[in-house]
């Protein structure tokens, strides 16, 4: 799902250029946003997993061999293209303390009972350095709202079970209108232990998971321009809403 890293870096680049040149971006003054809002971007939560997929030289490392060995227990998941876990075979978006035990039961029933290319929840919440870093980073800031980018499906997830702040649905509708994406409920088997789930549960503030693009991950770079055009409005609207 690494194409979302390019999305955030492209947004940052265009925002900085607009600010430097006293211009607007998507019709909004970059300097006005800069003077009123603090934006935090974490462009890549799983750098080891992305390196596994994108760097040919990684094949010569012991970490690659470790992942390859893990993948052999899951022959139906192509390697490395089907890999979305971290280097330890833990799915980072199943690591947060929001229905983690339920997520574990679901994923164990599906056969993910040990390190895997995807869908293994780990031994307990927040065992992995990447998920713990995001958890601690969030706890140390007073965020107005959060957006977690994934691929794919062109959908916006806005709630956790029956938990959502009153304005969360309204903001989600505006995100859907400006992007053309569909505001949706997460399928039950994927609706626990994610970052957005924990943020909603812990803070009762708007939190969203956005599934960018359409097709089978990893999405081709040929989709990037459309993904960016679909999502630039969301990223800017989030700063002023």
Q: pLDDT by residue (tens digit) across 125-146?
A: 999 999 999 999 999 999 999 9
23 occurs within a structural domain: no
68 occurs within a structural domain: yes
223 occurs within a structural domain: no
pLDDT in tens, 145-187: 999 999 999 999 999 998 989 899 999 999 999 999 999 999 9
> Based on the structure, what is the number of domains in the chain?
1
147 occurs within a structural domain: no
29 occurs within a structural domain: no
Averaged over 60-69, what is the pLDDT?
97
Structural domain including 98 reads: 52-141
Averaged over 36-54, what is the pLDDT?
97
90 occurs within a structural domain: yes
* CB atoms inside a 10 Å sphere around CB 204: 13
Is residue 211 annotated as part of the catalytic site, yes or no?
yes
pLDDT in tens, 96-125: 999 999 999 999 999 999 999 999 999 999
Task: Report yes or no: 100 and 193 within 8 Å, Cβ to Cβ.
Answer: yes
111 occurs within a structural domain: yes
pTM above 0.85, yes or no: yes
For 205, the 3-state DSSP assignment is coil
- Residue of 1, 14, 128, 211 marked active site: 211
119 occurs within a structural domain: yes
* 22 dihedral zone (left: phi>0; alpha: psi -120 to 50; beta): left
Residue-level pLDDT at 166 = 84
Averaged over 198-213, what is the pLDDT?
98
Task: Report yes or no: 231 and 179 within 8 Å, Cβ to Cβ.
Answer: yes
């Amino acid at each position: 799902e690494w194409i979302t890293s390019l999305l955030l870096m492209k947004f940052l680049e265009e925002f900085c250029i607009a600010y430097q040149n006293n211009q607007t971006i998507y019709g909004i003054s970059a300097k006005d946003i800069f003077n009123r809002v603090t934006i935090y971007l974490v462009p890549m939560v799983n750098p080891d997993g992305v390196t596994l997929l994108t760097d040919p030289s990684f094949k010569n490392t012991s970490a690659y061999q470790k992942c390859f060995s893990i993948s052999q227990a899951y022959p139906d998941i192509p390697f490395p293209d089907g890999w979305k876990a971290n280097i330890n075979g833990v799915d980072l978006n199943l690591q947060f303390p929001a229905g983690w035990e339920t997520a574990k039961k679901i994923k164990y029933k599906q056969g993910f009972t040990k390190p895997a290319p995807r869908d293994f929840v780990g031994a307990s919440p927040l065992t992995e350095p990447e998920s713990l870093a995001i958890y601690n980073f969030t706890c140390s800031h007073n965020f107005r709202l959060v957006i977690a980018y994934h691929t794919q499906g062109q959908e916006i997830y806005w709630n956790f079970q029956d938990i959502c702040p009153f304005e969360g649905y309204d903001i989600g509708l505006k995100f859907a209108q400006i992007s053309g994406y569909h505001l949706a409920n997460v399928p039950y088997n994927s609706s626990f232990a994610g970052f957005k789930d924990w943020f909603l549960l812990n803070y009762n503030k708007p939190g969203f998971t956005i599934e960018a693009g359409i097709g089978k991950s990893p999405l081709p770079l040929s989709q990037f321009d459309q993904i960016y055009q679909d999502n630039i409005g969301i990223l800017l609207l989030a700063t002023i809403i």
